[in-house]
Structure 1
């Protein structure tokens, strides 16, 4: 039952953000940029485990995975401004993000960080 509650609330937030962005693109972007999914994930994890060590590891790893995703938000609009269709720009942004995730994991390992 808890799984379905989590899925419903998470989906509701995504639907609300997309509806909001359709009418107010800037405000929709602001709400989308909030770490709502991360916060919900932390709440769900805490409710299920009450484990401070697991929470610390999750939050630290989230930081290391957010950083390589940021260039995607520059690449997609830049590509679209230069005539690249949306889905191609989105795919390119996702590919770049995946490559940067791999680089981040590799670099983290070299510095003794465990994302």
Structure 2
């Protein structure tokens, strides 16, 4: 139980720290957020939990493919916000568009025999 609490606290601290830095500088906040800290933490926790480099490798490969549709959020959200759409609605639409992009990518990859 203590191990899971430690993982949760470390991960939460990083997310909160990034949001606090972003209040002062969107550039530095953006740099920190764009560094794949979540992915790195997930790979570290997976390796510590399992010791299985094949699982870590599979996770890293999936992440590579799934970065592409995740970019939809970062295109759609500011586009909607600049057009005056409220933040909650813009975020909801951007998340929906991102989910559709994930779904589409998985379908396209499956047609080429790539399973994530």
CA distance in 1, matches of 2:113, 2:58: 14
- Within a 5 Å distance, the mapping from 1:1-115 to structure 2 comes to 1-115=2-116
- Please state how far the C-alpha of 1:50 moved relative to its aligned partner: 1.1
- Please state how far the C-alpha of 1:64 moved relative to its aligned partner: 1.5
Give structure 2 stretches of 5+ with no counterpart: none
CA distance in 1, matches of 2:62, 2:97: 19
- Please state how far the C-alpha of 1:60 moved relative to its aligned partner: 0.7
Stretches of 4+ aligned residues off by more than 6 angstroms: none
Q: Kindly indicate whether the alpha-carbon contact (under 8 Å) linking 1:20 and 1:28 is maintained by their aligned counterparts in 2.
A: yes
Q: Kindly indicate whether the alpha-carbon contact (under 8 Å) linking 1:61 and 1:114 is maintained by their aligned counterparts in 2.
A: no
Deviations 1:60-82 (A, max 9, x none): 11112211010210111111111
Give structure 1 stretches of 5+ with no counterpart: none
Counterpart secondary structure, 1:112:
coil
The total of aligned residue pairs comes to 115
Report the aligned-residue RMSD: 0.8
